[in-house]
Amino acid sequence: MKLVIFAGPPTCGKTTVIRQVIRRMLKKDYKPSFVKIDVLYADEDENINKEFGIPTKKIYSGELCPDHCNVVVLDEVVEWAEKNGSDYLFVETAGLCLRCSPYIENSLGVVVLEATSGMNLPRKIGPMLTLADIAVITKIDLISQAEREVFRYRVLEAAKDISIVESNALYGIGIDPIVKKIEKSNEIEIPMFLRGNPPVGTCTICVGKKEIGAKNHFGVLRTMDQELFYIGE
Amino acid sequence: MEIEKITIIGGYGKDGEKEKVDRFELKMGDIISIVGPTGCGKTTLINDIELFANNNTPSRRVILINDQPIPEDFSFDPKKHPIALISQHTNFLSDLPVGEFLKIHATVRGADDIELIIAETLDFANQLTGEAIIRETAMTELSGGQTRSLLIADAVIIGNSPIILLDEIENAGINRTKALELLKNYKKIFVFVTHDPRIALLSDFRIVIKAGSMQKLISTNQEERLAAGELKKIDDVVLHFRSLIRAGEVISEVILNESIKTLKV
Ligand SMILES: Nc1nc2c(ncn2[C@@H]2O[C@H](COP(=O)(O)OP(=O)(O)OP(=O)(O)O)[C@@H](O)[C@H]2O)c(=O)[nH]1
Ligand SMILES: Nc1ncnc2c1ncn2[C@@H]1O[C@H](COP(=O)(O)OP(=O)(O)O)[C@@H](O)[C@H]1O
Ligand SMILES: [Mg+2]
Ligand SMILES: [Mg+2]
Ligand SMILES: [Zn+2]
């Protein structure tokens, strides 16, 4: 089975892109499964199941960052998809913490970015962009050629080997090259490994410490002037 | 890749029938229009061109560059993307001052003399719009007409795109005659989707679309060009009245008849 992980900030167009991809995959007689990992609410699984009749599932990450959750549950998700008899598994994750990235070795990582999010976005999102194989830039129908070019340039500045696909996902423009790349991707290998290095240290905020100020936390910390230091074992 | 010409090979209309116009070519320097009623498929045709469609869109058209199709996974260098599409929804979102914004774009495009190219772009834009654009204005504060003018100027001069597609720009209050006059100085391919008879008649030829299908290619003949000249006079009266109303004048039938009389002389 092949695994494709779609990540990207909220409302960037992940589901719209995935629906266009699924439509084309079904025409080619593939059997995809779809999973959405989100924090508190998601309805993509129901909508996609209704529209295409393929197996779908949602997983709430609750107190974990969705990418973190992905790492913890993905092996079971893969088993589930294999039981469905699927040849492709599409995972949509709402990568919210911007420190980690959800991509797995030997699978395709797709980051979806909306061109309307401002020309500085590619400089802000770190590993979610730099560790991806493909960057899909959506909503190109809404912005000037100039901003589109600057956006594209800055994506390449952050991730020089990434393949860029510009898309008006509403009209299915730019989807075919994504499908081509998905078909050319590798079969997953078990055990699976996370791509790149996970973020340094444990997040004390994630585990529930609410006090403000570095003196109340441990792990890799920093001062206002960007100095990093470490408190702990 | 140096673009010399593109070829549009007809596909199928909404009814699944083959298009009557089975192919046409656009060469550098051509200005053409796409005409037809709302919903007939004008935007679809320019989307096909922008996509370099290769039998993979609903219309099943094929677009060739220099007689060759573009491979599906081909990706253009962002510095050299050959097509600029300015649609009804296209907008600037950046809130940077105009001067700084143009500087970033010129830098990304690898321009040699950045100051010069910015000045040229602003000068071009300011010939299209009534209200001059000032460098210090934030992009988001530009009026509709200023925005359209700058979108075009930026695509023509800084972007220097060889192919520029413009979707119904006439509603934006830019000076159309001036625009076409200026654009003729640049050896590019301009495709106008338009309901404006003047833009259509000032083009080299026009494609007529009905129900998703290219029905006719009409080359503008000498007689039509003359008609465009006459039409301009009528248009000028309308423009004159627009500026009167904008200036707070009260209009009467007498003033209108006066204007039409001067027009006939
Ligand atoms: N104009 C335009 N709108 C788009 C495009 N892609 C997506 N949209 C719209 O953007 C909105 C959000 O799209 P989704 O696909 O739901 O985004 P998402 O990333 O899945 O969002 P979450 O899963 O909620 O984080 C929808 O209203 C889409 O119709 C595009 O290319 N152009
Ligand atoms: N050749 C075609 N085959 C199938 N559908 C088409 C074709 N041409 C246009 N359409 C569809 O017709 C609708 C209207 O087309 P559009 O290009 O937006 O029209 P216009 O710009 O002229 O108002 C769109 O939904 C489009 O997908
Ligand atoms: Mg979604
Ligand atoms: Mg249209
Ligand atoms: Zn995280």
| Closest ligand relative to A38 C-alpha | 1
Q: What is the CA radius of gyration of chain A?
A: 18
Same domain for B199 and B79: yes
Instruction: Ligand 2, residue B42: give the atom nearest the CA.
Output: 22
Q: What is the DSSP letter of B54?
A: B
Same domain for A172 and A141: yes
Find chain A residues with C-beta within 8 A of B104's C-beta.
119, 150
Distance A202 CA to ligand 4 centre (A): 52
CATH number, domain of B124, equals 3.40.50.300
Q: What is the pLDDT of residues B11-40, one digit of tens each?
A: 999 999 999 999 999 999 999 999 999 999
Which amino acid, residue A43? D
Residue A187 CB-density burial (10 A; 0-12 exposed, 13-18 middle, 19+ buried): exposed
How far is B195 from chain A, CA to nearest CA, in Å?
21
- Which pLDDT value is given to residue A143? 87
Same domain for A13 and A79: yes
Instruction: Ligand 1, residue A8: give the atom nearest the CA.
Output: 19
Q: Which residue has the higher pLDDT, A228 or A21?
A: A21
* B254 touching A (Cβ < 8 Å): no
Same domain for A135 and A230: no
Q: Answer whether the bond into residue B71 is a cis peptide, omega within 30°.
A: no
| Closest ligand relative to B45 C-alpha | 2
Structure tokens at A91: 């995972």
- Which pLDDT value is given to residue B143? 87
CATH number, domain of A76, equals 3.40.50.300
Nearest CA in chain A to B47: A173
- Which pLDDT value is given to residue B251? 87
Our count of domains for chain B comes to 2
Asked if A163 contacts A133 with a C-beta cutoff of 8 angstroms, the reply is yes
- Which pLDDT value is given to residue B130? 76
Same domain for B110 and B58: yes
In this structure, the number of other CB atoms found within 10 A of the CB of residue A224 comes to 6
ipTM above 0.85, yes or no: no
| Contact state of A146 with B91 under an 8 Å Cβ cutoff | no
Mutate to test the interface with B, among A20, A24, A141, A144 (most CBs of B within 10 A): A144
Residue A168 has pLDDT above 90, yes or no: no
Long-range Cβ pairs for the range B215-224 (8 Å, 24+): B215/B19, B215/B20, B215/B21, B216/B20, B216/B21, B217/B21, B217/B24
Q: Which residue has the higher pLDDT, B89 or A179?
A: A179
* B71 touching A (Cβ < 8 Å): no
Nearest CA in chain B to A117: B93
Same domain for B84 and B189: yes
| Contact state of A176 with B72 under an 8 Å Cβ cutoff | yes
Same domain for B248 and B118: no
Q: What is the pLDDT of residues B97-145, one digit of tens each?
A: 999 999 999 998 888 899 999 999 999 999 988 789 999 999 989 988 8
Which amino acid, residue B118? I
Looking at B187, B202, B221, the residue that finishes a domain is B221
* B155 touching A (Cβ < 8 Å): yes
Same domain for A127 and A72: yes
Same domain for A204 and A179: no
Q: Which domain holds residue A78?
A: 2-183
Q: Which domain holds residue B41?
A: 5-221
Residue A189 included in any domain:
no
Distance B75 CA to ligand 4 centre (A): 26
Within 8 A by CB and 6+ apart from A226, the residues are none
Within 8 A by CB and 6+ apart from A13, the residues are A112, A114, A136, A138, A139, A167, A169
Taking each helix axis as running N to C, give the angle between helix B114-128 and helix B98-108, from 0 to 180 degrees, rounded to the nearest 10.
Answer: 120
Q: What is the pLDDT of residues B220-236, one digit of tens each?
A: 999 998 888 888 888 88
Share in percent of chain A as helix, strand, coil (round to 5): 35, 25, 40
A vs B, Cβ pairs < 8 A, gives 76
Residue A229 included in any domain:
yes
Same domain for B166 and B113: yes
pLDDT band at residue B265 under the 50/70/90 scheme: very low
Same domain for B254 and B167: no
Same domain for B253 and B216: no
